[in-house]
Structure 1
């Protein structure tokens, strides 16, 4: 039997011994009327001062915890009790379990505490009756009569995976006209496996307001939380059924078997906040919305997966669950795509075609800063980074991008070194088209550049197309420590891959994905070669002076 070491026993004996009787017990956290087992709920350990009528210590532990757990809680009850109790040790302890009694007698034998048995513990019995009443009064997350049917519809959505076909701004309207709901506006979530689900907005205004709010410059946690809680929607999300609270390496849910996927439902409203509970009418609304959405995806999968977002509409009659007490046992639902709203949301995010085309005309007429270079391929306001894509992610990219220029790459090292260029979607399309017109991407290079007037030296990022032209994509001071470190990693990774690298063109410059584009934002992958300055053979490029006129 485990016992206290001597120093612990001396420390506990120094506590004032008070003339009181403490009750102690360990019981499952469940109500007799609930059909839930203690393995999921845990067990509660309570230590109560029966003389003063106060709880001194309480813990919830896994059912498989040994008898040591009740001693740990007792120690806290003595040394660090709940307020208003003060540190002390009792004269007598009463338990209702013979095994616990004998165990405590052995462990506490040096503390001069009497350990007695009683089949009844009045204070603890009363506390657990109160716990049971609280559990009985809790509203279940889903109405019991609809829970099974809702989970079935949710898992059908998971298998249909509408987020593989529709982007967040490509909204589907679901016209219900029942239960005080007119039309719901469905937005799909599934960005690189970060979160999968369906948001069912109760109004178009709520959807627009949320998207406009998160696109503002302020991206602080408080700002985003406030925007989140001001939504007016029902939601379905998916989680790992065995998820724990511990920090784990990111795992894409899409890789898990269906048996490990757990659907969760809820409601968000500006005046209610987040509620992970659906009431009867809400459950029926979500039920018919998911069923009609699933049928629409099934009927129009080819059109929705074509890369465009055409105008589509279909009417369905959805049967209600057998347990439903509604007079009518079916509801007519109309599901429609909303390409005009999608265009409006894209414009809201900064995809302004007309302004972009004007900017590109100006950029194409600008004078290159360095001799022998063109700078009219990559937009000036683009986000640029040097990084690496794991070999596993590379396979997702190859299948997910709209344009892919393949290379003969063998997976060596930690991944493929890549240059990521993020801009607006119209500009990204133009970049991709211009590289295609030039025959594709041949190589990515870094070459020295110099400013003979200011004395600065540069590391110039260059793209070489198949027709031999060189395009400037980045100018970096060669003494910038951040860039120097990034270039060291780039060189080593290119050495590992035998000179292969890649260029990724992504959209989403002005949206929430700015600086952190997800898989769905990546529009093109060009696999190419990496060239050294010696291979390029053009020497140090000189900065050209810019003439200014009044």
Structure 2
């Protein structure tokens, strides 16, 4: 069993011990109470709660995955002692009561030397009352969709998911959907997902809202408060596809069962909602809104089916399509919808982003991508390693660059790039990394061959001295690489952007692409960043190889 280290015990012993009894427990919460993470996904599982039963106040609360061990209870307990929710002061209780024997024995072992009595009780009335209140809130919230829209809406978004417009369009390639339906004239649709972080469609009610959001995001930089303010100022409807695996409730309502079935078939959960400056974010659509979204989605699917192959990041010509869409709930009537690309707006938004990047680069030289670092004929691949292997590798590898922060281990493995070459060349490569101050980030950036029109996904390493190096070229249309990139992006999302680079020896024979632990010479734990953050744009592959 993991024990508290000495410094932590001394720190806790220094807290004032107060004559009170705390209740602690963990309970599963319904899907309506799933919390949004910093990266935009959802976290659902169990809620850990520590309550001061004497004062009747909540000391600490946290959401954790269902599979999290008893250590999570201890982490929340330490927070309750040292950093409790206001207005409670830091302190150490005289007694703790829990309703789980296993948790009781675990806490007794961890909290020894802290003079805290840990007892078992069959009921926790205060915590029961709090959780009943939370579940009551969940039950009182409206469903995401009106019942009559669940089936047709899931059919429509299944078509959009299979169209996958984010594989060809970024958020600057806006589509105008002119529908004149339910008091809505035109929706301006921005596609999310090219960076592999969150897939979906934002349907702005006005161009002013779209442009204002873009300006505020660019001006906000890395400020969380500014970004949140920009997010809440949007005036749009949204449909997103969330990749987090959310454990279903024991009893699902009709909508929940339909969403769960969608996840089991496609690996993503659908999410619908509304954003408005005066209303904030509402994770549901009312009847008129659902009708508008459904008509827009059906028209977009027809447009994508006819025209998506003609569109890309670099090619976004004027294209228009007109469609007669059955009116929701009244199939005998038709809504005439016009869908059109907006190349002038796309150019304006691109210039807006470029202007921000130019201001940041003022006085600095443009980045140069080099291809002379990775040894010729080296083997490279992207994949994942198990968390058990990662733990062993950290302690046994000859050179280890640690991550700059702790990160969750909820993905099915740690995303890594493997570079495998001879031992001599591997050691020389590690020496190059050390001389540059280590590895800073890993990125994938688009590239093309202007003579063959082949498009590539270029693997890029950013060193701490600012140098950029090409480590691999992947055919953009290769189905194997498409799946590998999709899994890479999903894992990086779950690790909050953390990934790794492994340098190994023995790239011939059976060990090629499958090095043993002893063959791995270096591990760099770094961040995965987007091509926009890197500032390279689309590259011509020939110029890199000359």
Normalised by the length of structure 2, the TM-score is: 0.51
Q: How many residues align?
A: 371
CA contact (8 A) 1:189 1:197 kept: yes
Q: Which stretch shows the higher mean deviation, 25-34 or 175-184?
A: 25-34
Q: Does 1:309 align with 2:313?
A: no
In structure 2, how many angstroms separate the alpha carbons of the residues matched to 1:11 and 1:165?
A: 54
SS in 2 for 1:282: helix
| 2:295–2:325 Cα contact (<8 Å) kept | no
Pair 1:342-2:343 in alignment:
yes
Give the counterpart of 2:206 among 198, 203, 221. Answer: 203
Superposition RMSD on alpha carbons, in Å? 5.3
Question: 2: distance between equivalents of 1:30 and 1:302?
Answer: 43
- The answer to whether 1:42 aligns with 2:46 is yes
Where in structure 2 are the equivalents of 1:84-233 lying within 5 Å? 84-85=88-89, 87-90=91-94, 92-101=95-104, 116-143=119-146, 146-147=149-150, 149-163=152-166, 171-189=174-192, 191=194, 193=196, 196-207=199-210, 213=215, 220=221, 230-233=233-236
Deviation at 1:160, TM superposition (A): 1.6
Deviation at 1:41, TM superposition (A): 2.0
Alignment-derived partner of residue 438 in structure 2: none
Q: Does 1:397 align with 2:404?
A: no
Give unpaired runs (5+ residues) of structure 1. Answer: 244-256, 321-325, 352-380, 419-511, 531-550
Q: Deviations over 1:268-327 (max 9, x none)?
A: 33434555443333233222211111112213456658957345332222363xxxxx45
- What is the alpha-carbon distance in structure 2 between the residues aligned to residue 328 and residue 228 of structure 1? 36
Q: 1:415 is matched with which residue?
A: 470
5 Å matches for 1:367-446? Answer: 384-388=366-370, 397-398=447-448, 404=452, 415=470
- 1:233–1:267: 8 Å Cα contact kept in structure 2? yes
1:516 — aligned with what? Answer: 535
Give the alignment partner of residue 296 of structure 2, picking from 286, 289, 293: 289
1:220 and 1:138 map into 2 onto residues whose CA distance is 34
Give the 3 Å change call, closer, same or farther, for CA 386–116 of structure 1 in structure 2: closer
Specify the alignment match of 2:434 in structure 1. Answer: none
Residue-by-residue CA offset, 1:323-352 (whole Å, 9 max, x unaligned): xxx4567542322325xx53465368669x
Structure 2: gaps (5+ residues): 36-42, 247-263, 353-362, 375-379, 382-442, 462-468, 474-530
Which protein shows a greater Rg?
A: 1
**Are residues 404 and 190 of structure 1, via their aligned partners in 2, closer, same or farther at CA, if it must alter by over 3 Å?**
farther
Q: Deviations over 1:171-206 (max 9, x none)?
A: 543233222212223344565656654332223454
Hey, what does 2:431 align to over in structure 1? none
* Secondary structure at the counterpart of residue 271 of structure 1: coil
Aligned residues of 1:17 and 1:89 also touching (Cα < 8 A):
yes
Change (3 A) 1:9 1:349: closer
Q: In structure 2, how many angstroms separate the alpha carbons of the residues matched to 1:303 and 1:272?
A: 38
Shift of 1:24: 2.4
